[in-house]
């Protein structure tokens, strides 16, 4: 073929390649004058818009890096798409990348050869994996020119050459046991062990051994005997299964053989006592389907249980350890062809909390039958010793291998009492009369009031022009008249400011709120509340918390409502406990903390807890001293609103404040908050906040719960029953009336 004909053919092919082409490299073709071609015309440069096949290859690989398998599939040739459906193509890549535990990969294009209708692009890939390190593969892709574009002629070898012909990757996982969570005394709260799901069939219970059965179930689950009996009391002849709880295999020996007991063994992440501080500790569950790819890429087994809430979620990096595994290439017949890599498992670390197991359990029991929260802090450091939220829940139910899960998990998730809510840090409530410690402080700091400033506390507050507000003494008087035909509760009468807090006189604090507002000190009380840590997060790490709300009053009515902790005032129990700790320790607002240390598999501790102040109460020492005196009067003065509750507990100095907060619906919330000042070197003093939702008066309901926490902390166990109990844990039947708050003489 002479030169002229040869050039015509090349130009024709180039023209065909360029028809309809996309932008890209633009090769030039030009005939050359040579000695043998002197008669050729002047050279002409011919330019085509034929695309570069490397552009298509880059697009394919970049889409792969982004896990954009749909775009990858769109770049395949027609023949390739006809040989594998898009969903199968996507599944092939996703399964392979998950088995690889692929974190990332990089590529470099190298040699490229092409003509008008086909091309080959060679490239190098470095796979960076979570479990088996980095390994490289050299590959070559074939491309075909279709409809003006270069398309990938795909086969399995373009994933990895090892997979050509339908081979696949298989990772054999070696998952270490999840780390243990301990209390401060190294008592396990959560561990990995063999477990028994516990249940009963009422019709099979032998009356002669029923007491032993109930006693054992109570010991294992932490429930009161009466709580267990209530599960089947209305179905004594029922021949169906009723879940009760879970216990370790070793703990259930004495249950074996007791008629009516049903035990089902499984191996699991186990939460003692049906969940100790369940909302705070959290739970694990199988990896959610929508997150499975992410977890597999991070080296997790498909069978892993992962933290879904609370400290289980926060501590995942410590508690999960590191999964090991061996990566194989497996043929279509299931036989191993080769080993690509191997990684040893790394043991998990343990987490030690600041919680006191016994105090936590007793706090949970103290709230039995109520919605609410109890928070106990180490007063002078910020350690969280107990953090109970009621109703609680059994985290063991989130394991599908637990026989009780199918019976009880749905009820848990649909419970209108929201047991998954951590009321200690996420519950937001009006504070009621406990807020008067704020108004008391603002009054003294204003310079307008002294601890001895007098005010006559009557049944009614009439200083607002358009309404009359009633003191709690008037409400008590009316209730007595309704119930008995006569009333004995009288107004509190002439009071100093200290006496006003001791008697929790609403009119006195309404007066202060209105007076400061009219003086132009509109934000004085709100600013003091914020200075005491209310209306903002405490900063407790590892746990999601609500902030509450403290607003500046916009009207005189707002001001008087705020002065007694109503209106727009919303706080969390943790904020209140932290505030009380600051009052007791001399003014330091410590950041609450719940993790003491992390211990690795070699026993090396990494301390986490370190006392940390987040603020100082914005009051003078003399204001703080007066406030403490008033809070002690609440407890020790016979006219104090909590005197009757603590009159037989004299071994521990207690400072506190009752609170009854009107709720948006239902009965009032019952509050009691305060601190101890025993100054016992072996038992650091504590601050406590108690709220029982819609339970009535703070002095009647919350104060006895506070007392139980003090007894448990300083004596190791509760010492006195509630007013509504016949004995500790046993409710009176019928319920006897409670002792009223003492009236003024």
Domains 53-166 and 184-275 share a fold: no
- pLDDT for the residue 730: 84
For residue 98, how far is the Cα from the chain centroid?
A: 28
What does the DSSP 8-state code read for residue 211?
H
Q: What is the DSSP string of 674-712?
A: EEE---BTTB--EEEEEEETT---IIIIIHHHHHHHHHH
In the structure encoding, which two tokens stand for residue 285, read together? 């569950």
Q: What's domain 432-731's superfamily in CATH?
A: DD-peptidase/beta-lactamase superfamily (3.40.710.10)
For residue 545, how far is the Cα from the chain centroid?
A: 9
Strand partners, 166: none
What is d(CA 629, CA 497) in angstroms, rounded to the nearest whole number? 11
What is d(CA 255, CA 261) in angstroms, rounded to the nearest whole number? 7
What is d(CA 472, CA 383) in angstroms, rounded to the nearest whole number? 36
What is d(CA 593, CA 571) in angstroms, rounded to the nearest whole number? 18
Exposure b/e, 22-49, CB count within 10 A at least 16 = b: eeeeeeeeebeeeeeeeeeeeeeeeebb
142 burial level (CB within 10 Å; 0-12, 13-18, 19+): middle
- pLDDT for the residue 235: 87
What does the DSSP 8-state code read for residue 70?
H
What is d(CA 184, CA 312) in angstroms, rounded to the nearest whole number? 17
Domain residue ranges of the chain, discontinuous segments joined by + = 3-47, 53-166, 184-275, 281-352, 432-731
Angle, in degrees to the nearest 10, between helices 703-715 and 357-366: 160
In the structure encoding, which two tokens stand for residue 478, read together? 């009316």
Backbone angles phi, psi at 122, to 5 degrees: -95, 145
Q: Is the dihedral of CA 247, 253, 254, 256 positive or negative?
A: positive
53-166 topology per CATH: Nuclear Transport Factor 2; Chain: A, (3.10.450)
What is d(CA 587, CA 578) in angstroms, rounded to the nearest whole number? 11
What is d(CA 522, CA 309) in angstroms, rounded to the nearest whole number? 41
Is residue 502 within a helix (H) or strand (E), and if so which, with residue range?
A: helix 497-503
Outline where 282-351 has alpha helix (H). 292-297, 310-314, 316-319
Q: How far is CA 267 from CA 200, 243, 495, in A?
A: 20, 18, 64
Q: Report pLDDT digits (tens) over 376-429.
A: 999 999 999 999 999 999 999 999 999 999 999 999 999 999 999 999 999 999
- pLDDT for the residue 50: 55
Bridge-based pairing of strands 460-461 and 588-590 is unpaired
Q: Is the dihedral of CA 139, 145, 151, 155 positive or negative?
A: negative
Over the chain (745 residues), the average pLDDT of each successive run of 10 is 40 37 36 41 40 93 96 96 97 96 95 91 96 94 94 96 95 96 98 95 94 94 91 90 94 90 95 97 95 95 96 97 96 94 96 98 96 98 98 96 95 96 98 98 98 97 95 92 90 97 98 98 98 98 96 97 97 98 98 98 96 97 98 98 95 97 93 97 97 96 98 96 90 49 38
What is d(CA 99, CA 327) in angstroms, rounded to the nearest whole number? 8
Closest CA to 516 of 589, 440, 425: 440
Exposure b/e, 129-140, CB count within 10 A at least 16 = b: bbbbeeeebeee
Cβ proximity of 572 and 426 under 8 Å: yes
CATH number of 184-275: 3.90.1310.10
- pLDDT for the residue 17: 37
Closest CA to 181 of 402, 390, 360: 360
- pLDDT for the residue 307: 97
Q: Is 96 helix (H, G, I), strand (E, B) or coil?
A: helix
Q: How far is CA 198 from CA 195, 213, 406, in A?
A: 9, 11, 13
What is d(CA 505, CA 492) in angstroms, rounded to the nearest whole number? 7
Strand partners, 664: none
**Angle 172-177-180 from CA coordinates, rounded to 5°:** 160
- pLDDT for the residue 256: 84
Strand partners, 264: 197
Q: Is 462 helix (H, G, I), strand (E, B) or coil?
A: coil
- pLDDT for the residue 733: 54
Strand partners, 330: 168, 336
In the structure encoding, which two tokens stand for residue 728, read together? 């500790």
Q: Is 17 helix (H, G, I), strand (E, B) or coil?
A: helix
Backbone angles phi, psi at 149, to 5 degrees: -135, 150
């Amino acid at each position: 073929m002479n030169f002229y004909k040869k050039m015509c053919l090349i130009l024709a092919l180039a023209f065909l390649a360029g028809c309809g082409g996309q932008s890209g490299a633009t090769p030039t073709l030009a005939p050359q004058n040579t000695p043998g071609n002197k008669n050729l015309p002047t050279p002409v440069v011919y330019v085509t818009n034929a695309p570069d096949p490397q552009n298509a290859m880059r697009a394919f690989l970049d889409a792969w890096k982004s896990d954009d398998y749909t775009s990858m599939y769109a770049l395949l040739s027609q023949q390739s798409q006809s040989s594998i459906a898009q969903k199968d193509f996507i599944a092939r890549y996703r399964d392979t990348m998950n088995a690889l535990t692929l974190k990332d990969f990089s590529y470099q294009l190298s040699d490229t050869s092409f003509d008008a209708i086909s091309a080959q692009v060679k490239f190098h890939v470095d796979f960076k994996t979570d479990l088996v390190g980095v390994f490289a593969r050299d590959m070559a892709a074939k491309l075909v020119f279709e409809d003006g574009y270069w398309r990938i002629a795909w086969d399995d070898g373009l994933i990895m050459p090892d997979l050509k012909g339908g081979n696949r990757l298989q990772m054999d996982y070696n998952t270490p046991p999840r780390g243990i969570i301990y209390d401060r005394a190294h008592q396990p709260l959560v561990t990995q062990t063999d477990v028994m799901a516990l249940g009963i069939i009422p019709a099979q219970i032998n009356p002669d051994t029923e007491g032993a059965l109930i006693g054992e179930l109570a010991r294992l689950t932490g429930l009161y005997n009466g709580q267990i009996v209530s599960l089947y009391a209305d179905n004594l002849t029922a021949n169906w299964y009723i879940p009760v709880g879970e216990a370790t295999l070793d703990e259930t020996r004495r249950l074996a053989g007791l008629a009516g007991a049903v035990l089902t063994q499984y191996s699991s992440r186990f939460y003692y006592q049906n969940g100790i501080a369940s909302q705070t500790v959290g739970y694990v569950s199988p990896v959610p389907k929508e997150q499975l790819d992410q977890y597999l890429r991070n080296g997790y087994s498909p069978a892993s249980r992962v933290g879904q809430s609370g400290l289980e979620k926060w501590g995942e990096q410590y508690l999960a350890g590191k999964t090991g595994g061996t990566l194989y290439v497996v043929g279509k017949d299931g036989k191993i062809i080769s080993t690509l890599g191997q990684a040893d498992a790394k043991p998990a670390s343990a987490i030690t909390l600041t919680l006191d197991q016994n105090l936590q359990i007793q706090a949970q029991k103290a709230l039995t039958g109520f919605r609410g929260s109890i928070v106990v802090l180490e007063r002078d450091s910020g350690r969280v010793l107990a953090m109970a939220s009621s109703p609680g829940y059994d985290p063991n139910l989130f394991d599908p291998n637990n026989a009780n899960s199918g019976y009880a998990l749905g009820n848990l998730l649909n419970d209108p009492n929201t047991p998954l809510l951590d009321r200690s840090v996420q519950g937001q409530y009006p504070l009621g009369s406990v807020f008067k410690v704020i108004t008391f402080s603002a009054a003294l700091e204003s310079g307008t009031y002294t601890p001895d400033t007098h005010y006559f506390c009557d049944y009614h507050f009439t200083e607002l022009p358009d309404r009359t507000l009633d003191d709690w003494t008037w409400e008590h008087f009316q209730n007595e008249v309704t119930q008995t035909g006569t009333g004995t509760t009288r107004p509190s009468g002439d009071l100093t400011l200290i006496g006003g807090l001791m008697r929790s006189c609403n009119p006195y604090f309404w007066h202060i709120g209105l007076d400061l507002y009219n003086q132009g000190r509109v934000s004085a009380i709100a600013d003091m509340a914020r200075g005491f840590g209310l209306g903002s997060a405490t900063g407790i790490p590892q746990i999601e918390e609500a902030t509450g709300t403290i607003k500046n009053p916009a009207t005189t009515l707002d001001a008087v409502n705020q002065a007694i902790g109503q209106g727009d005032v919303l706080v969390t129990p943790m904020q209140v406990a932290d505030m009380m700790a600051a009052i007791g320790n001399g003014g330091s607002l410590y950041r609450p903390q719940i993790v003491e240390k992390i211990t690795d598999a070699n026993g090396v501790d990494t301390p986490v807890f370190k006392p940390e102040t987040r603020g100082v109460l914005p009051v003078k020492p003399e204001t703080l001293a007066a406030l403490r005196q008033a809070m002690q009067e609440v407890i020790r003065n016979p006219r104090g609103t909590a005197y009757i509750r603590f009159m037989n507990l004299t071994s521990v100095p207690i400072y506190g404040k009752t609170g009854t907060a009107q709720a948006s619906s239902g009965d009032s919330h019952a509050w009691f908050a305060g601190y101890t000042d025993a100054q016992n070197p072996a038992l650091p003093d504590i601050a406590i906040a108690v709220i029982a939702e819609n339970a009535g008066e703070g002095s009647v309901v919350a104060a006895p719960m506070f007392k139980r926490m003090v007894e448990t902390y300083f004596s190791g166990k509760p010492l006195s029953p509630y007013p509504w109990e016949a004995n500790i844990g046993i409710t009176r039947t019928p319920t006897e009336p409670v002792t009223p708050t003492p009236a003024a003489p």
